[in-house]
Amino acid sequence: MPDIELLTFIAVKAGLNSTFFTSTAKIASRFHISQQSVSRKLRALASEGLVEFSSSPKGVRVKLSAKGASILKSRFVELKQVFASHPAPFLEGSLESGLGEGSYYMSQAKYVSQFEQKLGFRPFAGTLNHGVSEEKLAGFLSQLEEIAIKGFRTGQRSFGSIRAFPVLVEKKYGAAIIFPERSSHESNVIEVICRENLRKKLKLKEGSSVKLFSEKL
Amino acid sequence: MPDIELLTFIAVKAGLNSTFFTSTAKIASRFHISQQSVSRKLRALASEGLVEFSSSPKGVRVKLSAKGASILKSRFVELKQVFASHPAPFLEGSLESGLGEGSYYMSQAKYVSQFEQKLGFRPFAGTLNHGVSEEKLAGFLSQLEEIAIKGFRTGQRSFGSIRAFPVLVEKKYGAAIIFPERSSHESNVIEVICRENLRKKLKLKEGSSVKLFSEKL
DNA sequence: ATTACTAAATTCCGAGTAA
DNA sequence: TTTACTCGGAATTTAGTAA
């Protein structure tokens, strides 16, 4: 595998189209490796066709090749995908059947009172199961406020903490995506608690499309 | 030094904020190295504090740490400097003779309908062959949006995918530079598909100078 | 001052395998 | 199925130098 570190260094110093004159020793001290290694690595990049390279007792002259540039470009595009993505302003999903574990939480007063206090609404007893794309979910969640709902114990059992992300269903109805403590975030199905009985109010049935919006609009 | 390849892979898969569940064997086959090496490298990333990592007999769960994200971010900024610096606002070239392979594509309905849908115009049947400097081409392309045109099969043969980069000819006419799947990008001659018969409209002849502009003006 | 060869030291990798 | 340990061999690095 080509030494991307060094290739990137050359690209930054020389740009895409110009040559760059320096010495292997200078590059070596920049990377805290030996002069010999830089010499070897430069020749390796050249033999792979990633740079044009010539050396003399005066120093080395290096230039990115088209192939080298295209390798770096593809890495740039990858990282751009990570850092420069514009998170969607809403998350579209479809209603799934089933009540989900969440319904049970709604019956626990210690959860409900926290929801009321921290989310600003008292949730309807049922929850919506919402089928979404995992990838879009991650991007959408990253722009939401995260609210911690504490766990507690009753005589019988312990209830774990819950992570809640406030959203607006169809830009209107106060709601929150909830993740019980140990859930992985990797499901295609998320649970949504709502102020009202949205299943009725919006006449939802299985497969209905539902959009969740960020509250920051 | 940390394994940036793997770190980038994790970033692309998991994004900045979510966890990613997979197995060391899957990652291994992606990179063509052994399962053992992936295991070792993941633990190395974790011990350097670049990822949060846990493993079980079910698989591995990985998440980028803040430190890991910042390392990738700095590499992103470096590459941005290289590719997004001062790209030429246009690409000048000269009309070459010949029809090019592209003309044939224009006769394939499955390509044409995709062009129409994704590029926003139905291309004229002919293509322009445009002689340009390879170096300038790379820089110019880097600032353009890239649109994927999918390949397909007919009874007789298969047609590969095409990469298309929307441009404006002479700041006016909707067009796109196209690269058939296996072409190398390293030719001096690129093919341009246009909304109209520019050869007539602009009274072009062989050797005529033509300027392609980025659509983002 | 350079680059880069040779050889020794070091690191890295993966097959085999336990848990 | 998993992960990850051991260990022998492969690959990489660098010190010492020649040119």
Q: What is the pLDDT of residue A29?
A: 84
- Whether A36 CB is under 7 Å from strand C: yes
Of the candidates B18, B81, B186, the beta carbon closest to that of A12 is on B81
The whole-number pLDDT of residue B39 equals 92
Is residue A214 within 8 Å of A143, Cβ to Cβ?
yes
Neighbours of B118 (CB within 10 A): 14
- Shared domain for A76 and A98, answered yes or no, is no
Contacts 24+ apart (CB under 8 A), B140-144: B140/B87, B140/B88, B140/B90, B140/B91, B140/B212, B140/B214, B141/B165, B141/B177, B141/B185, B142/A73, B142/B83, B142/B84, B142/B87, B143/B84, B143/B87, B143/B214, B143/B216, B144/B177, B144/B214, B144/B215
Share of chain B above pLDDT 70, in %: 88
D13 closest protein residue (CA to C1'): A37
Q: CA of B7: which chain A residue's CA is closest?
A: A79
CA distance B84 to chain A (A): 10
B47 C-beta less than 7 Å away from strand C: no
Of the three residues B35, B53, B83, the one that is the final residue of a domain is B83
Strands A162-169 and A173-180 turn out to be antiparallel
Question: Do residues B113 and B31 share a domain?
Answer: no
pTM of the model: 0.51
Pairing of strands B20-22, A189-194: unpaired
Q: Around Cβ A211, how many Cβ atoms within 10 Å?
A: 14
Highest mean pLDDT among A106-110, B28-32, B37-41, B109-113: B37-41
Report the Cα–Cα distance between both ends of chain A, in Å, rounded.
Answer: 46
Q: Positive or negative, the Cα torsion across B165, B169, B171, B174?
A: negative
What's the angle, vertex CA A200, arms to CA A95 and CA A107, rounded to 5? 80
pLDDT greater than 80 at residue B203: yes
Residue B187 pLDDT level (bands cut at 50, 70, 90) = low
Question: Nearest nucleotide to A22 by CA–C1' distance?
Answer: C2
Note the pLDDT of residue B18. 82
Pick B77 or B75 by higher pLDDT: B75
Is B134 within 8 Å of A11 when comparing Cβ atoms?
no
Structural domain of residue A179, as residue ranges?
90-214
Closest partner residue to B82 (CB to CB) among A70, A72, A137 is A72
- Taking the C-alpha atoms of residue A92 and residue B190, their distance in angstroms, rounded to an integer, is 40
Domain boundary among B37, B55, B83: B83
Determine the pLDDT at residue A101.
Answer: 65
- Model confidence band, residue B215 (pLDDT cutoffs 50, 70, 90): confident
Beta-sheet strand order (sheet of B59-64): B20-22, B59-64, B51-56
| Residue B188 shares a structural domain with residue B129 | yes
Task: Measure A123 CA to nearest chain B CA, in Å.
Answer: 26
Whether residues A101 and A22 share a domain: the answer is no
Nearest CA in chain B to A31: B1
The pLDDT score that the predictor gives to residue B174 is 87
Helices (H), A158-203: 198-201
Residues B123 and B57 in one domain: no
Do A100 and A181 have their domain in common?
A: yes
C16 C1' closest Cα residue: B36
Same-domain pairing of A62 and A108: no
Count of other CB atoms within 10 angstroms of residue A177? 23
A164 strand-pairing partners: A147, A178
Q: Which residue in B11, B83, B85 is closest to A82 by CB distance?
A: B11
pLDDT tens figures, B87-142: 567 888 888 876 666 677 777 888 888 888 888 888 888 788 888 876 677 667 76
- A13: domain CATH number is 1.10.10.10
C-alpha–C-alpha distance, residues A63 and A54, integer Å = 9
Q: How many domains is chain A partitioned into structurally?
A: 2
Same domain, A61 and A142: no
Among B212, B193, B173, B184, residue whose Cα is nearest residue B126: B193
3-state secondary structure A64-98: ECHHHHHHHHHHHHHHHHHHCCCCCCEEEEEEECC
Which stretch of DSSP H or E encloses residue B144?
none
CA–CA dist A199, A103 (Å, integer): 14
Give the three-class secondary structure for A178: strand
What is the pLDDT of chain B when averaged over all its residues? 82
Residues B81, B83, B86, B89, Cα dihedral to 10°: -160
Domain match, A72 and A98 both? no
Query: Strand C contacts (CB < 7 A) among A residues 54-73?
Result: 55-60
CATH number reported for the structural domain that contains residue B142 in this entry: 2.40.30.30
B67 and B98 part of one domain:
no
Q: What is the mean pLDDT of residues B28-51?
A: 89
Query: Running DSSP on this structure, what letter comes out for residue B188?
Result: S
* Amino acid found at A213: F
Looking at residue B185, what is its pLDDT? Answer: 46
**How many CA within 13 A on the CB side of residue B204?**
24
What does the DSSP 8-state code read for residue B125? S
Whether B119 and B190 share a structural domain = yes
Which residue's CA shows the smallest distance to C1' of C12? B37
Q: What is the mean pLDDT of residues B4-20?
A: 88
Cα→Cα distances A28→A33, A46, A210, Å: 5, 17, 57
pLDDT recorded at residue B115: 87
Tens of pLDDT along chain A (217 residues) come to: 789 989 998 898 888 888 888 888 888 888 888 898 999 999 989 988 899 898 888 888 989 998 899 889 888 888 988 887 656 678 888 888 766 666 777 778 888 888 888 888 888 887 888 888 766 776 687 677 778 788 888 877 778 888 888 899 988 888 999 887 765 445 678 889 888 888 888 888 888 889 999 876 5
CA A154 to chain centre: 36
Footprint of strand D on the protein (CB under 7 A): A 33-34, 36-37, 40-41, 57; B 23-25, 35-36, 39, 42-43, 55-60
Q: Same domain for A41 and A125?
A: no
pLDDT at residue number A176:
92
pLDDT of residue A128: 85
Domain boundary among A83, A105, A128: A83
